[in-house]
Chains A and B, each alone.
Chain A
Amino acid sequence: MNTSTPSSTQEPSSTQAPCAVSARSLSKVFGSGSNAFKALDNVSVDIRENEFFTLLGPSGCGKTTLLRLIAGFEQPTSGEVLLDGEDLSAKPPYQRPVNTVFQNYALFPHMTVAENISFGLEMLGRPKDQIKSVTANMLRLVQLEAMADRRITQISGGQQQRVALARALAPQPKVLLLDEPLSALDLQLRKEMQLELKRLQTDTGITFVFVTHDQDEALTMSDRIAVMNGGKILQIGTPREIYDKPQHRFVAGFIGEINLVPVEAMGAHDYAIAGVGSLRSDEASVVPKGDHAVLAIRPERIALSAPGPGKLPGVVTNVVYHGTDTIFHIRLADGLELRARSQNNTARIQSFAKGDQIGWTVDAASVSVLADDPS
């Protein structure tokens, strides 16, 4: 990795709040011999206290494996998991002060809602009156007081989701692990639960480690996001950093829509698009002058206007109307096309049509520079 990009997998742990969970050079290989599959490849990450931390990536990227290693359901092939600085390796799941919200909830079908929620406290041997009051508090927290004595099979999916959450929160774990807990819900309910989860995290002050493949979910809820692919963490940052300053082609492409424009570095901040013109970026170049690089530009950051001086030329090849916004497909040169998103702030008819010659500009702050390798 180039020295000018901060090493994303090796963040210093001294920043801000102390660490709740740390992974140190964690690897996990499933199977052996020719069937061996490296689910997690030398991952190190520090998750801070009281943080809503999201592991984001496509299926098979290793995010769930990392979560299961923290919970203790899997043993790492190498590396270690630290909780409050203490090595967890020797501890079985039932001795780790960590609770999980499972993807399909894994609620006990032979128990009532209240029995599910109090299970963890009972196993911890808490006094009866404490179990009772904490369970009542949890039922109130997830607004299921009326359902306390219902069976799990008698409540809806959204309610089951909240029971799973209450069950995992009741023992007041140091860290709450959430494995795609919203994926089984419909869109409307998912949006509500996103806000509710965030509220619960703020209210309880518990560290949340949230696994998802849904970029919207990650951007909406997280304090920080780790984007994973192929068993590695590619980049860790706030939702803003991840969206605005992607450091990998994969990160750029996975989160939202983005234009990737091949360029040649002309100086520290200037880049030439062959046959079109040049662009400026606030970011220092990741490659020496004369080498190839790739610019990553979000469609909504491209400003369209009539052709003129100081603007780059292009031809509109397609206009796609989306209600709140319109997407313009713009051909720059042979084989090079951009997409620009323009907000429909007024009901005025858009001034550009298919075949129009236009001019476009991008603010230098909105241009990210990536190395020209396929990762």
Chain B
Amino acid sequence: MTRAGKNILFRALLIGPALLAITVFMIIPLGLMAYISFRGRDYSGGVLWDQFTAEAYVRLFFESELDGTLALNFNYMYIILRSVWLSFLTMVISLAVGLPVAMFMATRDAKWKAVLVFMVTLPFWTNLLVRNYAWILLLRDHGIINSALLWLGIISEPLPLLHNSFAVAVGLTYSFLPFMVLPIYASLEKIDLRLVEASFDLYANRWQTIKRVILPLAFPGIVAGCVLVFVPALGAYITPELLGGGKTLMIGNLIGFQFGAARNWPFGAALGMFLLALVLTSLWLYARRYRGDLERLQ
């Protein structure tokens, strides 16, 4: 074999495993999803492979009347908007709660840090489903919170805490909070304490130091945390299913419904593609907005 030939073979062998993994785990499933979304619907479940149609995408915005004409239908858009709104709310609450937690953790001594990081990751050790059921016990009409408030005489009727957007937001925040805390903690922990001393030395008080030195330096962690909370929250399935009680649907539930009871695979796939487009667009907007800030910290 020629020297150049050997070189190409060598490179192919090196790239091979990564390429294979990307193909099997990303390109094929995504391609399949895109493909199915443009196929005809088999009412018994599955797909009419030989029929090309964009019907699934039309269905996102329109419904066909009995006479065959199309009318605007905002039902799906409404669910998608609620998903975005709830995910955004989850991200904001997680940031508001997670940032002080991460700051507290990062300023403890080494022994305490290890314990606190362990405690933050503790929920991962058990099943998400079980933890969401636990929230039902807390939030339902005769649950722990309502019972306690009734017993204390603060309220006379149980508060509607379960099966609404509030319950879903609480559940999502609870589920994804560690994904906000950990990256922020990691970036705070890397900050050189002498920079904080330098800031104090240059007449910045505690608040000014947080605003001008600590937060800008923790910015990559904050961005990572927001992305890690927002993106999976957008596709959440279990939490809105259990805590939303079938009334507060999110995209995840809608997709699940299409592949299950509704037997409309192409529409489920189209919803998946739409979700993907939504995530990519928000990440792109995010990146465009904060690229400069991230680059200056490289």
Q: A110-B217, A151-B296 are in contact. Are A104 and B200 (CB under 8 A)?
A: no
User: What is the bound-complex CA distance between A98 and B212, given in angstroms?
Assistant: 20
Q: Is the CB of A94 within 8 A of B203?
A: yes
Pick the residue among B197, B208, B212, B296 that contacts A73 (CB under 8 A). B197
Q: Is the CB of B194 within 8 A of A109?
A: no
Q: Is B198 an interface residue (CB 8 A)?
A: yes
Q: Is the CB of B203 within 8 A of A106?
A: no
User: What is the bound-complex CA distance between A98 and B199, given in angstroms?
Assistant: 12
Interface size class of B (residues with CB under 8 A): 20 to 34
Q: Is the CB of A100 within 8 A of B198?
A: yes
Residues of A within 8 A of B282 (CB): none
Pick the residue among B194, B195, B203, B297 that contacts A123 (CB under 8 A). B203
Q: How far is the CB of B209 from chain A (nearest CB, A)?
A: 8
Binding site for A on B (CB under 8 A): 192, 194-195, 197-205, 208, 212-213, 216-217, 219, 296-297
The A107-139 residues at the B interface (CB cut-off 8 A) are 107-110, 119-120, 123-124
Pick the residue among B195, B200, B205 that contacts A108 (CB under 8 A). B195
Q: Of residues A71, A72, A95, A109, which shows the largest number of chain B Cβ atoms within 10 Å of its Cβ?
A: A109
Q: Is A93 an interface residue (CB 8 A)?
A: yes
User: What is the bound-complex CA distance between A124 and B199, given in angstroms?
Assistant: 12
Residues of B within 8 A of A93 (CB): 197, 200-201
Q: Is the CB of A119 within 8 A of B202?
A: yes
Count, A-B residue pairs, CB within 8 A: 65
Q: Of residues B200, B203, B216, B296, which shows the largest number of chain A Cβ atoms within 10 Å of its Cβ?
A: B203
Residues of A within 8 A of B201 (CB): 71, 73, 93-94, 98-100, 168
* Closest residue of A by beta carbon distance from B194: A106
User: What is the bound-complex CA distance between A124 and B296, given in angstroms?
Assistant: 25
Q: Is A299 an interface residue (CB 8 A)?
A: no
Q: Is the CB of B194 within 8 A of A124?
A: no
User: What is the bound-complex CA distance between A108 and B216, given in angstroms?
Assistant: 10
* Closest residue of B by beta carbon distance from A95: B203
Chain B interface main SS type:
helix
Q: Is A102 an interface residue (CB 8 A)?
A: yes
* Closest residue of B by beta carbon distance from A92: B200
* Closest residue of A by beta carbon distance from B298: A153
Pick the residue among A72, A110, A171 that contacts B202 (CB under 8 A). A171
User: What is the bound-complex CA distance between A163 and B200, given in angstroms?
Assistant: 17
Q: A110-B296, A151-B296 are in contact. Are A123 and B208 (CB under 8 A)?
A: yes
User: What is the bound-complex CA distance between A119 and B216, given in angstroms?
Assistant: 14
Q: A94-B204, A119-B202, A167-B202 are in contact. Are A110 and B194 (CB under 8 A)?
A: no
* Closest residue of A by beta carbon distance from B209: A94
Q: A109-B217, A167-B202 are in contact. List 13 more A-B contacts (CB 8 A).
A: A92-B205, A94-B200, A100-B198, A106-B192, A106-B197, A106-B198, A108-B198, A110-B216, A119-B199, A119-B202, A119-B212, A123-B204, A123-B212
Pick the residue among B192, B195, B202, B216 that contacts A120 (CB under 8 A). B202
User: What is the bound-complex CA distance between A108 and B213, given in angstroms?
Assistant: 7
Q: Is the CB of B202 within 8 A of A123?
A: yes
User: What is the bound-complex CA distance between A136 and B202, given in angstroms?
Assistant: 18
User: What is the bound-complex CA distance between A94 and B195, given in angstroms?
Assistant: 13
Residues of A within 8 A of B194 (CB): 102, 104, 106
Residues of B within 8 A of A107 (CB): 198
Q: How far is the CB of A183 from chain B (nearest CB, A)?
A: 15
User: What is the bound-complex CA distance between A124 and B201, given in angstroms?
Assistant: 11
